[in-house]
Structure 1
Amino acid sequence: MDPFLVLLHSVSAGLANSELAELKFLCRGHLSKKKLERVQSGVDLFSMLLEQNELDSENTRLLRELLTSLRRQDLLRRLDDFEAGAAAQAAPQEEDLHAAFDIICDNVGKDWRRLARHLKVSDHKIEEAACACLGRGQTRSSRPAPAVSSVFSSPPLRQTDGASRGGRSPRPFPLHPT
């Protein structure tokens, strides 16, 4: 389950009818009067705010403002806990990415060229990676050096329409037989 939706459900369950009426009033600048008339619960209100992109897991400013205006410190603590958890689960750090790259390289082994082609890395960049490996004393079929990870982070090749080849897609082929 999405933790943000769980938070919104929890907040909705903690609202009294009078507080829901206050929230509807405060949301007049964000939702039309017609939509606000259909709101019967906090879940309804939050769903409409999600649909209007006024609220999401990355943008909790409006929710914080609403809960602050209600003076609901208990619900604000839930929001703080959610934001603290979301920050802890942020994007992986660079060392994590290098570790993942090393694990993939170790397990792919001799098939690293096929993987690179599947990821639409140009044959030229694959050959550069192979030459970098050879420069480090590795064999052509062994894994690429970790310093070559930048080769795999470049944008993929653009695919052509294939009209010049009779409508067929180009098929990857090795530059050097392995």
Structure 2
Amino acid sequence: MELSRIADPRARNAERDLDALTHILEQLTSLARADAVDPSAYQRANLSLIGAEVTEMTAPFVFDQDKSIEFVDHGTTPVTVIPALVENMLRNLIENAVKHNPPGTRIVVTCGPGPLVSVEDNGKGLVDLPEHHEDLGYVKRSGQIGLGLKIVHRISELHQAKIAIDTAPDQGTKVTIDFAAAA
């Protein structure tokens, strides 16, 4: 599509709609992939290396959205995981911190000590947590689907990892994933 060549404001709206649909399709694909896991895909990995790589890969996106990102490594222990899924989990948490917070928000990805990984921001806190509905799954009060958080939970389940979410209005959110069961 050549929407970028069209000067009409409706073309910008169509571009935003296409970007949103593409993102939803990518998330649904990620969720489907998480449900079809080959046991041989698990391998020993270093969470610090995964965290550093994801932070580096997402940094341009974060900076383009007028946010900052930092990586802190306290040393991790080797774990048996599916590295691509752990990358996906961290990317989703970073993207959520970017999308749901105001300009100037600081995001910190921390690995360790031990088999811990966290993504923390100093933004507005989780003010729109998804609610579970029997037929619909998780739907946010704003009407958004909340697929990113669902993907994070599903990947955690596959690794028997525990998730802790600490959040407070106007003080930010910290999501910590404990991979002790995968160590």
Q: TM-score range by the shorter chain?
A: under 0.3
Higher RCO (CA-CA < 8 Å; seq separation 6+):
2
Q: Which of the two has greater strand per residue? A: 2
